[in-house]
Homo-oligomer: A and B are copies of this chain.
Amino acid sequence: MTDLHLMRTLTQRNDTKIVLLVMDGLGGLPRQPGGPTELEAANTPHMDRLAREGMLGLMHTVANGISPGSGPGHLGLFGYDPLKYVIGRGVLEAVGIGIQLTGEDVAARGNFCTVDKNGVITDRRAGRISTEECARMVSLIDDLKIPAAELIVRPVRDYRFTLILRGPGLSPRLNETDPQKTGLTPLVVEPQDDTPEAAHTAGLVNWWVNQVRERIKDQHPANMVTLRGWSKEPGLPGFDDVFKLKAAALAVYPMYKGLASLVGMTVIEGLAHLRDQLDALKKYWTSFDFFFVHYKYTDSRGEDGDFDAKAKEIEKVDEVIPAILEQKPDVLVITGDHSTPAVLKSHSWHPVPVLFWAPGVSRSNPDVMGFGESQCLKGALGQFTAAELMNLVTAHALRQAKYGA
């Protein structure tokens, strides 16, 4: 595994084009021992051909045996070791609903909760109110003001919302106010270090919470809030700086657009369907070096536990491979950010299948017949960690100088 400093030193520009096609949660498991995985059950003639021509492998996007969240999974794909570069929960929540953070913002995850007349929490999730009710609750408090900082409050999902403080001299070094069990009152926000910024921010947040308490005390079941995951935009080294790649993100969902923007990719807005993403690929082909194309529904159907529907989503992606190849990419990588086996209905630790296609400069894996987890075991890339992926990508794009003389 190599670090970003090494990549920054070695990478150079040329006119090669790279496509990273991510099927979210691609990796799967067989329904019964010896059976096919979702990817193996899917009919994928185009990817099977590329697998025979290119190289397969299995990739740990965080580390062997670790189940990645979407944030760390994508950071790994983008070449940022997710064990080293950590995105705070508050920031991830804000990014996930499409809020563009500035370097001075402090973000938190908020929960609506239920308190009794003494202010003691009786339900930490306010009866798991619906997203619509969450939006109504947010509309009751999103006009509250505090001095010296702008406030952004947005509903996320169910009982969860995001709170962002925007202004000079703010610090995320604050304690979480959720006491983690019922029968206790929400904690007061206190600074976690001796800086004036932390004290200042704690004061502002407590001021806001007191206004919120007063404003929603007669609502039901949500009549109070807790806050956690205090964090700032992580200030990741820029993708262009490290890899010398002008990168475009072609994604539909805010979370993935947000993650791409955190590493400095240009987010192409207004894409609603895979067809839009392909049109954008064609439209912007000459304007960028690197295209991150994200497809969400493989993960969604895996989370649903619907094996057949997940396989169908993989087939939909296979159908657009010819349109990608028409652009004549020099390097095409088809993979996932983590596995989401339908049998587990959740993200899992299983390494993700990788199809790495770079005509003319890649090794061969002559025993490989098509794209699938078991075929990947015979692939030329072996098993590796995502932090190595961008080494391979820039190398195969002939965008790397040799290391030492």
- Chain A positions 80-95 with a Cβ under 8 Å from a chain B Cβ: 82-83, 86-87, 89, 92-93
Interface assignment of A10: CB less than 8 Å from any CB of chain B: yes
Contacting pair B2 A83 (CB below 8 A) = yes
Find out whether the CB atom of B403 lies under 8 angstroms from the CB atom of A67: yes
Which residues 346-405 of A sit at the B interface, judged by CB distance below 8 A? 346-350, 359-367, 373-374, 377-378, 380, 382-384, 388, 390-395, 400-405
Secondary structure call for the A interface: loop
Q: Which residues of B contact A147 (CB under 8 A)?
A: none
Contact with A67, one of B34, B367, B395 (Cβ below 8 angstroms): B395
From A12-20, A69-77, A125-133, A205-213, the one touching the partner chain is A69-77
Contacts of A87 in B (CB 8 A): 404
Asked if A178 lies at the interface with its beta carbon under 8 angstroms from chain B, I say no
Q: Which of A58-66, A273-281, A301-309, A315-323 contacts B (4 or more CB under 8 A)?
A: A58-66
Asked if B6 contacts A33 (CB within 8 A), the reply is no
A363 touches which of B6, B373, B390 (Cβ 8 Å)? B373
Write the nearest CB–CB distance from A256 to chain B, whole angstroms: 13
In the complex, which residues of chain B have a beta carbon less than 8 angstroms from the beta carbon of A380? 377
**CB-nearest residue of chain B to A27:** B363
A349→B68 CA distance, assembly (Å): 28
Closest residue of chain B to A62, judged by CB? Answer: B403
Q: Among B30, B67, B364, which residue has its beta carbon within 8 angstroms of that of A402?
A: B67
Partner among B92, B367, B382 whose Cβ is within 8 Å of the Cβ of A405:
B92
- Please determine whether B63 and A388 come into contact, CB atoms closer than 8 angstroms: yes
Residue in A69, A349, A377, A388 whose Cβ sees the most chain B Cβ within 10 Å: A377
- Which of B65, B72, B390, B400 is in CB contact (< 8 Å) with A392? B65
Number of interface residues of A (CB under 8 A): 66
Copies of this chain, how many? Answer: 2
CB of A374 within 8 A of CB of B366, answer yes
Provide the residues of chain B in CB contact with A378, threshold 8 Å.
367, 377
In whole angstroms, how far apart are the Cα atoms of A367 and B374 in the complex? 9
A70-B54 Cα distance, complex, nearest whole Å: 28
Interface string of A1-43 (1 = CB under 8 A from B): 1100010001000000000000000000110011000000000
Check A364 against B71 for contact (C-beta < 8 Å).
no
- Which of A34, A67, A378, A403 counts the most chain B CB atoms within 10 A? A403
Bound Cα distance A10, B69 (Å)? 12
- With A63-B391, A391-B64 given, is the CB distance from A374 to B382 under 8 Å? no
- Does any Cβ of B come within 8 Å of A343's Cβ? yes
**A364 and B30 within 8 A (CB):** yes
Seen from chain A, the residues whose Cβ lies within 8 Å of a Cβ on chain B are: 1-2, 6, 10, 29-30, 33-34, 53, 58, 62-72, 82-83, 86-87, 89, 92-93, 96, 343-344, 346-350, 359-367, 373-374, 377-378, 380, 382-384, 388, 390-395, 400-405
- Sample of 6 A–B contacts (CB below 8 Å): A65-B388, A65-B390, A67-B400, A71-B404, A348-B395, A382-B382
